[in-house]
């Protein structure tokens, strides 16, 4: 009798170990949360990368449109900032911080000739600026465009804090040696 009961228990245990019913459901339950995390994480990263490319493109546009002018006044700068805003579409640029500056080499130092900004304080004229080496020739000028944008997660789970996306662009004036800033 003991042998039959003992034999009966081993048969049940072996049958349990051989059973495959529900294995797929258990595997799916274990893997699904990880797969969802990867899926939504990749969506979030693609949103941020797209916006980072927009920041880069907008800073290039801001600098390029300014570098094409011989001189700029308030209305022309407003148009340049508006054109830069349009590059940012469909993302909201109201919170973006933009600054455009004309830099001039002066006896080995690079100084601000003029600066204008939207949501970013312009540099005062004459302020020394550090730029990468060999960008500006002796007595030469550069247009320096900067954009900063705080990225907030659309989903809110993967990036819980704001990430500041920034870019800067340096261009030589196209038509003149130095772009004049008119204040009218």
Q: Exposure string (b/e) for 70-105, b if CB count within 10 Å is 16 or more?
A: eebeeeebeebbeebbebbeebebeebbbbbbbbbb
**Percent helix, strand and coil across the chain, each to the nearest 5:** 40, 25, 35
Question: What is the pLDDT, as a whole number, of residue 6?
Answer: 58
**Residues with Cβ within 8 Å of residue 77, at least 6 apart in sequence:** 66, 100, 116
Question: What is the pLDDT, as a whole number, of residue 159?
Answer: 64
Question: What is the pLDDT, as a whole number, of residue 143?
Answer: 97
Question: What is the pLDDT, as a whole number, of residue 39?
Answer: 87
Contact 98, 147 (CB under 8 A): yes
How does strand 180-181 pair with strand 71-72? parallel
Question: What is the pLDDT, as a whole number, of residue 180?
Answer: 92
Distance in Å from the first CA to the final CA of the chain: 109
Tell me the mean pLDDT per 10 residues along the chain, length 184.
58 69 79 87 85 93 94 94 86 86 93 95 95 90 95 69 90 92 86
Question: What is the pLDDT, as a whole number, of residue 5?
Answer: 56
Question: What is the pLDDT, as a whole number, of residue 74?
Answer: 93
């Amino acid at each position: 009798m003991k042998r039959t009961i003992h034999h009966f228990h081993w048969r049940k245990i072996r049958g349990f170990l051989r059973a495959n019913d529900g294995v797929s459901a258990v595997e799916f339950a274990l893997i699904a949360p990880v797969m969802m995390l990867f899926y939504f994480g990749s969506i979030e990263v693609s949103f941020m990368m797209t916006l980072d490319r927009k920041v880069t493109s907008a800073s290039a546009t801001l600098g390029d449109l300014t570098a094409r002018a011989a001189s700029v006044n308030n209305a022309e700068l407003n148009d340049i900032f508006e054109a830069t805003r349009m590059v940012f579409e469909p993302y909201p640029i109201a919170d973006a911080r933009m600054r455009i500056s004309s830099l001039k080499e002066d006896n080995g130092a690079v100084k601000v000739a003029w600066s204008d900004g939207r949501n970013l304080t312009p540099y005062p004229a004459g302020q020394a600026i550090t730029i990468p080496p060999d960008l500006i020739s002796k007595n030469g000028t550069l247009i320096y465009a900067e954009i900063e944008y705080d990225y907030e997660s659309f989903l809110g789970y993967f990036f819980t804090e704001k990430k500041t996306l920034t870019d800067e662009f340096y261009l030589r004036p196209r038509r003149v040696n130095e772009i004049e800033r008119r204040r009218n």
